[in-house]
Amino acid sequence: MKAILQRVSEARVDIDGTTIGQIGPGLLILVCAMQGDAEGNAEALATRIPKLRVFRDEAGRMNRSLLDTGGAALVVSQFTLAADTSRGNRPGFSAAAPPEIGEHLYRHFVETLTAQGVEVQTGRFGADMAVHLVNDGPVTIPIER
């Protein structure tokens, strides 16, 4: 699985003008299941992310985790993280898991992240979403498992 973590002071997801997920300080997590991924990949990613020290401590250094800060996570499925841009001008997405597998792994990722003690809000798998965020830092980190 691939993910992009964005440290945010706030973020929300809207569908057709209605907010379906919203957080204050924490992480916006864009996540994509790849061909060949299984539940173990989702669990490994969801277990690692809350422990990453990407939040400022009292000295202003990135030394605190999501668990340390009590921040929340807004998890949004994003199959475009599987984009292959190596040829031509149109990205290919064949490296992404098929939708039914992708949705299962997305939900498993969310469940595992929640089980780590993180407050989790979500987008809607496969929906056309408007994602609003205030990137704090900015801090944007790619991660794979």
Helix spans in 4-58 (H): 39-48
DSSP assignment, residue 20?
A: E
122 among known catalytic residues: no
Residues 6, 79, 112, 121: which is the catalytic one? 79
List the structure tokens of 119. Answer: 């407050």
56 by Cβ neighbours in 10 Å (0-12 / 13-18 / 19+) ranks as middle
93 among known catalytic residues: no
Determine contact, residues 15/132, Cβ cutoff 8 Å.
no
Residues 19, 35, 80, 140: which is the catalytic one? 80
Determine contact, residues 54/5, Cβ cutoff 8 Å.
yes
Residues 6, 55, 78, 121: which is the catalytic one? 78
78 among known catalytic residues: yes
Instruction: Tell me the catalytic residues.
Output: 78-80
